[in-house]
Amino acid sequence: MRIPLTALLLAPAVVFAGSSSFDGTWKTKPDSMRTTGKPNMVQLVNGEYSCLSCDPPYTVKADGKFHETKGNPYHDAVAVKVLSPTSVETTSQLAGKVVFEETDEVAADGATSRAKFTDHTGTKAATGSGTAKRVAAGPPGSHAISGSWQQDALTGGNEALLTVTYAMTADGFSMHWNGQSYDAKFDGKEYPVAGDPSHTTVTLKRVDAHTVLETDRRLGKVTDEVRLAVAADGKTISGEDKDLAHGQTTTYTLERQ
């Protein structure tokens, strides 16, 4: 259900003349992530798996084989394998390459689930884990994974998943994450995210010396609005990602490394 660790000791925040408070390497605090809005909705019944909240929704046979999907820039085929009455493995593929793997396990009481995932869209495999809370049951006779789930928390992740580098000048802003990057000017134009298989483009706006707004587009449609704000002491960034495609908002904190 994709919930899109020991932290290193924080280095003192030092801002040199001519540099920005954004400049440097940052690491997401897993326990800081909170997601609100529409829940994720899935259904596994009569041998078919449906992701009802995906954009666009899709249905494939749950036989462990890859089946074609259409309209999603991150995958063109999905394989769903039932591991047990309470667990399911989902693998996404794009142009013949596996891009995302996830295993979801529903707790004995059916009220919560735990996910382990691997994101292959970057240079290194980005791994993580998370939890979700059930907000609605699935149809009678369906697999335990069926129903509506609210993402609860990111419980872990490796360096490839959590670490990002930012830099800002008077004219623009740049980002580097696990082999994906952009270097965009504050001119209202769209700039590509290099290395991103979904061909995301970004538009950047400088609110002030410590705040930036990023607008993401895929397939010509605005998908996300991201706000990044550096704290007064320069040691943390408050992030907010409004996922317009899924009707969800995720807030999180990054710590300077």
| 194: β partners | 181
Residue 56: cis peptide before it, omega within 30 degrees of 0: yes
Asked if pLDDT for residue 53 goes beyond 90, the answer is yes
Q: Which two tokens stand for residue 208?
A: 């002030």
Q: Structure tokens of 178? A: 């696990």
**Per-residue confidence (pLDDT) for residue 17, from 0 to 100:** 37
Q: What is the distance between the alpha carbons of residues 37 and 221, in angstroms, rounded to a whole number?
A: 20
Among 225, 83, 224, smallest CA distance to 144 is for 83
In Å, what is the CA distance from 163 to each residue of 12, 21, 29, 139, 158? 17, 17, 10, 40, 8
SS3 of residue 159 by DSSP: helix
pLDDT attached to residue 6? 28
pTM here is: 0.88
Which tens digits make up the pLDDT trace of 158-214? Answer: 999 999 999 999 999 999 999 999 999 999 999 999 999 999 999 999 999 999 999
| Strand residue runs (E) in 3-64 | 24-28, 34-37, 40-45, 48-51, 58-61
Say how many C-beta atoms besides its own lie within 10 A of residue 93's C-beta.
Answer: 21
Task: List the domains of the chain with CATH numbers.
Answer: 24-31+162-256 (2.40.128.20), 36-159 (2.40.128)
Is the sign of the CA dihedral 162, 20, 209, 185 positive or negative?
Answer: negative
